[in-house]
Amino acid sequence: MHFIDVAEITVNSGKGGDGAVAFRREAGVPRGGPNGGNGGRGGSIWLVASSLSSTLQDFRYRRSYQASPGQMGGGWNKTGSDGESQEVPVPCGTLVYDADTNDVICDLTTPGQRFCVAAGGKGGRGNYEFRSPHRQTPFVSSPGRPGETRRLRLELKLLADIGLIGLPNAGKSTLLSRLTAARPKIADYPFTTLVPNLGIIDLGDFVSCTLADIPGLIEGASEGKGLGHEFLRHVERTRALVYLIDVSDPAPVATLAVLRQELLAYGQRLSELPCTVVLNKLDLIDPEAIEELRDEVAGWTADNGAGGPHCISAVTGQGIETLRHVLRDLYRAALAATD
């Protein structure tokens, strides 16, 4: 199954039922008046946030949604039945745009949250509504109002508390699998991760949060290069960031500057999130070189208000438990910053 995070659909609400023209006909009532009922309201289209789905995959196969029309009014002043509304489930974190105007319609983030994106047409009035002292036998009714037709663009932005960002093959997927029960694809070639992955990390003291592995960024990602531009939107909702750097990188400070610049180019908020730097793959370098590398990166973290650097090996597990405590403090700081 492919990860689908953008989709376009068309929604059509139901037309309102027409009003009826009818008259009262009873034995012993020689002058029965009008009694045509109103038409029923057309069905509406509702988008409902659901925790049961995590992609917009379903909208690949079904792009049009139609609600039922309202029924026509009847005699004896009976109102027609309303059309059946349709509820369309979407993943939590779906941002809904009007595809024609590009205006934001709603942001569905909480399970069960609902929003009416196309209201059903109002039912027409029956001839009973047109009666008056001067028009006691009206042979007139009004038609039901048409429903709404809208083109919607759905964008999914994952709801994660902490996002892992780094160059391709920095070890993000391996770290995610170490810290959580998630099992993303792991391989020794760039761009192994083609879709964002989520996992729940236990931070201890009955605290847990969601960790997201964002596909590798490269220089120019904010301009559409590589995979980063496509998935940078998923970083937008995170509360904090972890810059993951491969210790075998010949220029780790330059790499951090590139990652920071891409976030800044995509949105000012991303560069202002609480963050920390983690140096991964310690098993690949000599212990003597670790302190030199730590000192080199420490200057960048101090200048940019980041925590760390923290040294780990996601493969061997070295430093993982210490990192878990670091992430707990980072998460708490992020919560305090958003309160």
- If you average pLDDT over every residue of the chain, what do you get? 86
Q: Where are the beta strands (DSSP E) in 67-190?
A: 86-91, 94-98, 104-108, 114-118, 149-156, 162-165
Q: Indicate whether 1 belongs to any domain.
A: no
One domain, residues 175 and 100:
no
Of 135, 93, 131, the closest CA to residue 110 belongs to 93
Last residue of a domain, one of 156, 181, 213: 156
Q: What is the pLDDT of residue 4?
A: 65
Q: How far apart are CA 201 and CA 197, in angstroms?
A: 13
329 in Cβ contact with 337 (< 8 Å):
no
One domain, residues 247 and 301:
yes
Last residue of a domain, one of 129, 156, 183: 156
Q: What CATH code is carried by the domain that includes residue 316?
A: 3.40.50.300
Asked whether the predicted pLDDT for residue 228 surpasses 60, the reply is: no
Q: Indicate whether 148 belongs to any domain.
A: yes
218 in Cβ contact with 230 (< 8 Å):
no
Q: Where are the beta strands (DSSP E) in the chain?
A: 6-12, 45-50, 64-66, 86-91, 94-98, 104-108, 114-118, 149-156, 162-165, 197-204, 207-213, 240-246, 275-280, 307-311
Q: What is the pLDDT of residue 312?
A: 95
Q: Report the domain count for the chain.
A: 2
One domain, residues 170 and 239:
yes
Q: What is the pLDDT of residue 278?
A: 96
Asked whether the predicted pLDDT for residue 87 surpasses 90, the reply is: yes
275 in Cβ contact with 260 (< 8 Å):
no
Asked whether the predicted pLDDT for residue 182 surpasses 60, the reply is: yes
Q: What is the pLDDT of residues 276-311, one digit of tens each?
A: 999 999 988 888 888 889 999 999 999 988 998 999
Q: What is the DSSP string of 173-208?
A: HHHHHHHSS------SSTT---S-EEEEEEEETTEE
309 in Cβ contact with 275 (< 8 Å):
no
Which residue range(s) make up the domain with 316?
162-338
What's the CA angle centered on 155, arms 153 and 159, to 5 degrees? 155
Strand partners, 174: none
One domain, residues 258 and 316:
yes
Percent of the chain with pLDDT over 70: 89
Q: What is the pLDDT of residues 129-140, one digit of tens each?
A: 999 988 988 999
- In the Cβ-directed half-sphere of 139, how many Cα atoms lie within 13 Å? 0
One domain, residues 193 and 235:
yes
One domain, residues 102 and 238:
no
Residue 334, SS3? Answer: helix
pLDDT confidence band for 227 (50 / 70 / 90): very low
Q: What is the pLDDT of residue 217?
A: 63
Give the torsion through C-alpha atoms of 281, 286, 291, 294, to 10 deg.
-30
One domain, residues 74 and 116:
yes
For the chain, helix, strand, coil in percent to 5 are 25, 25, 45
Q: How far apart are CA 201 and CA 35, in angstroms?
A: 66
Q: Which two tokens stand for residue 105?
A: 């319609």
